[in-house]
Amino acid sequence: ASGCKIGPSILNSDLASLGAECLRMLDSGADYLHLDVMDGHFVPNITFGHPVVESLQKQLGQDPFFDMHMMVSRPEQWVKPMAVAGANQYTFHLEATDNPGALIKDIRENGMKVGLAIKPGTSVEYLAPWANQIDMALVMTVEPGFGGQKFMEDMMPKVHWLRTQFPSLDIEVDGGVGPDTIHKCAEAGANMIVSGSAIMRSEDPRSVINLLRNVCSE
């Protein structure tokens, strides 16, 4: 895909220095930041919520694009607080709501872009009816909940199918994506690339970000 964007996931960074870690990613050429919100209910882990996002927006001050990956059971609850905190995109899980249509509308009314995510066990056909109303589809390539897991290559047919059906839709992959797996994602048609440990664990995040972007945009 041409013009791939790279969004580091800061989940595996030093969370006590979150602001500095975000800045380090932006200074290393990140196109956006992917922020993982976990509520200990939708996934077996807890991270942070909108108060932290608000502090980050204030501290970063260079108007970064925040893609909020909402791994929470009641995504309806945090739309307004996240918008007020400065989130740019609200990516919720299809599995977490009975009324995606109302949620999509609410996210737009609060001035954010709309992302719709599916877990590995969710068929892409359930996402398709909403594809024309969203800005981005997120195809999870691990079970959500933890960084540093193994990339699930068998999710690539979902990406490819979406790319064929919806040529102009932004399609994001998340989980186990790095220099070893980016080719598969690019080939399938993903254009928004989340990468956590592969970037955070590198001594030279800039070169990893550039490599991912170059392979993906070929």
Binding residues for a divalent metal cation: 34, 36, 69, 174
Nearest of 172, 168, 167, 169 to residue 155 by alpha carbon: 172
Contact between 205 and ligand DX5 by CB under 6 A: the answer reads: no
Is the CB of residue 37 less than 8 Å from the CB of residue 73? Answer: no
Contact between 28 and ligand DX5 by CB under 6 A: the answer reads: no
Contact between 142 and ligand DX5 by CB under 6 A: the answer reads: yes
Closest CB to Zn ion among 79 and 138? 138
Query: Does residue 174 carry a catalytic annotation?
Result: yes
What does the alpha-carbon distance between residue 163 and residue 186 come to, in Å, rounded to a whole number?
A: 11
> Of 36, 39, 106, 170, which residue is the catalytic one?
36
Closest CB to ligand DX5 among 109 and 153? 153
- Bind-site residues for substrate: 9, 69, 145-148, 176, 196-197
Helix (H) or strand (E) holding 118: strand 113-118
Contact between 172 and Zn ion by CB under 5 A: the answer reads: no
**164 burial level (CB within 10 Å; 0-12, 13-18, 19+):** exposed
Contact between 39 and ligand DX5 by CB under 6 A: the answer reads: no
Is the CB of residue 33 less than 8 Å from the CB of residue 8? Answer: yes
What does the alpha-carbon distance between residue 131 and residue 104 come to, in Å, rounded to a whole number?
A: 11
- Interface residue with Zn ion among 72, 118, 174, 191 (CB under 5 A) is 174
* Residues annotated as part of the active site: 36, 174
Binding stretches for Zn ion (CB under 5 A): 36, 69, 174
